Amino acid sequence: MSHEPRRKFSVKEVGNMAYSVEDAGKRVEELRKEIEEHNYRYYVLDRPVIEDSEFDRLMRELDKLEKDFPELVTPYSPTQRVGGKASERFRKVVHSVPMLSLANAFGEGELRDFDRRVRSAVNGPVEYVVEFKIDGLSVALQYRDGVFYRGATRGDGVVGEDVTANLRTIKTIPLRLKQNLTLEARGEVYISQQGFEELNRRQEDLGLAVFANPRNAAAGSLRQLDPGVTASRPLDILIFNLEYIEGRETGSHSEGLDLLSELGFKVSPMYDVCTDIGDVIEKCLYWQEQRDRLDFEIDGIVIKVNSIRQREVLGATSKNPRWAVAYKFPAQAKTTVVRDIIIQVGRTGALTPTALLEPVRISGSTVSRATLHNEDYIRDKDIRIGDTVLVKKAGEIIPEVVEVLKEHRTGKEKVFDMPDRCPECGSEAMRIEGEAATRCTGISCPAKTRRSIIHFVSRDAMDISGLGPSIIEQLLDEGLIKDASDLYYLKDRSGQLENLERMGKKSVENLLNAIEASKDRGLSRVITSLGIPYVGSRAAALLARHFGSMDRLMEAGKEELMEVPEIGDKMADSIRTFLNQEQNLKFINNLKESGVKMTEDRAADAAPGKFSGQTFVLTGTLGKYTRNEAAEIIERLGGKVSGSVSKKTDYVVAGENPGSKLDKARNLGVKVIGEREFDELIGY
For 58-103, the pLDDT digits (tens) are 877 887 887 778 777 777 777 766 555 444 567 888 888 888 888 8
* Contact call for residues 65 and 20 (beta carbons, < 8 A): no
pLDDT of residue 683: 66
**Topology, domain 104-328:** D-amino Acid Aminotransferase; Chain A, domain 1 (3.30.470)
Q: Which CATH superfamily is domain 443-520 in?
A: 5' to 3' exonuclease, C-terminal subdomain (1.10.150.20)
**What are the phi and psi torsion angles at 100 (to 5°)?**
-70, 155
Buried residues in 638-648 as b, exposed as e (16+ CB within 10 A): ebbbbbebeee
- Helix/strand/coil (H, E, C) string of 596-642? CCCECCCCCCCCCCCCCCCEEEEECECCCCCHHHHHHHHHHCCCEEE
* Contact call for residues 79 and 62 (beta carbons, < 8 A): yes
pLDDT of residue 342: 94
Task: Give CA–CA dist 190/281, Å, rounded.
Answer: 26
**Backbone region of residue 377 per phi and psi (left: phi > 0; alpha: psi in -120 to 50; beta: other values):** alpha
In the chain, residues under CATH classification 3.40.50.10190 are 615-682
The CATH number, out of the four listed (3.40.50.10860, 1.10.150.20, 3.40.50.11540, 3.40.50.1100), of the domain defined by the range 523-593 = 1.10.150.20
DSSP letters spanning 473-540? HHHHHTTS-SSGGGGGGGGGGHHHHTTSTT--HHHHHHHHHHHHHGGGS-HHHHHHHTT-TT--HHHH
pLDDT of residue 603: 42
Question: What is residue 652's three-state secondary structure?
Answer: strand
Do you know the residue count of the chain? 684
Active site (annotated) includes residue 266? no
**What are the phi and psi torsion angles at 244 (to 5°)?**
-155, 160
In the chain, residues under CATH classification 3.30.470.30 are 104-328
Task: Give CA–CA dist 78/604, Å, rounded.
Answer: 48
Question: What is residue 348's three-state secondary structure?
Answer: coil
Task: Give CA–CA dist 419/440, Å, rounded.
Answer: 10
pLDDT of residue 609: 66
Residue type at position 471: I
- Hey, what CATH class is 11-80 in? mainly alpha
Question: What is residue 38's three-state secondary structure?
Answer: helix
Q: Which residues lie closer than 8 Å to 539 by C-beta, 6 or more apart?
A: 566, 567, 571
Query: Which residues of the chain fall short of a pLDDT of 50?
Result: 1-9, 85-87, 603-608
The CATH code for residues 333-439 is 2.40.50.140
Task: Give CA–CA dist 589/617, Å, rounded.
Answer: 42
Task: Give CA–CA dist 354/372, Å, rounded.
Answer: 5
Distance of CA 506 to the CA centre of its chain: 27
Question: What is residue 226's three-state secondary structure?
Answer: coil
Residues 33, 133, 414, 648: which is the catalytic one? 133
Task: Give CA–CA dist 683/607, Å, rounded.
Answer: 8
Distance of CA 347 to the CA centre of its chain: 25
- Helix/strand/coil (H, E, C) string of 163-209? CHHHHCCCCCCCCECCCCCCEEEEEEEEECHHHHHHHHHHHHHCCCC
In the chain, residues under CATH classification 1.10.287.610 are 11-80
As beta bridge partners, residue 272 has 130
Q: How are strands ordered across the β-sheet holding 271-274?
A: 104-105, 324-328, 298-305, 128-134, 271-274
On the 0-12 / 13-18 / 19+ scale of CB atoms within 10 A, 170 is buried
The CATH code for residues 615-682 is 3.40.50.10190
In the chain, residues under CATH classification 1.10.150.20 are 443-520, 523-593
In this predicted model, what pLDDT tens digit does every residue of 438-450 receive, in sequence order? 888 765 688 888 8
Task: Give CA–CA dist 335/660, Å, rounded.
Answer: 56
In this predicted model, what pLDDT tens digit does every residue of 383-436 receive, in sequence order? 999 999 999 876 555 788 989 999 999 999 999 999 988 898 887 888 867 778
Task: Give CA–CA dist 25/20, Å, rounded.
Answer: 8
On the 0-12 / 13-18 / 19+ scale of CB atoms within 10 A, 37 is middle
Task: Give CA–CA dist 173/78, Å, rounded.
Answer: 11
On the 0-12 / 13-18 / 19+ scale of CB atoms within 10 A, 329 is buried
pLDDT of residue 224: 82
In the chain, residues under CATH classification 2.40.50.140 are 333-439
Task: Give CA–CA dist 612/406, Å, rounded.
Answer: 56
Distances (CA, A) of 96 to 151, 154, 311, 375, 663: 12, 12, 18, 51, 15
**What are the phi and psi torsion angles at 334 (to 5°)?**
-130, 155
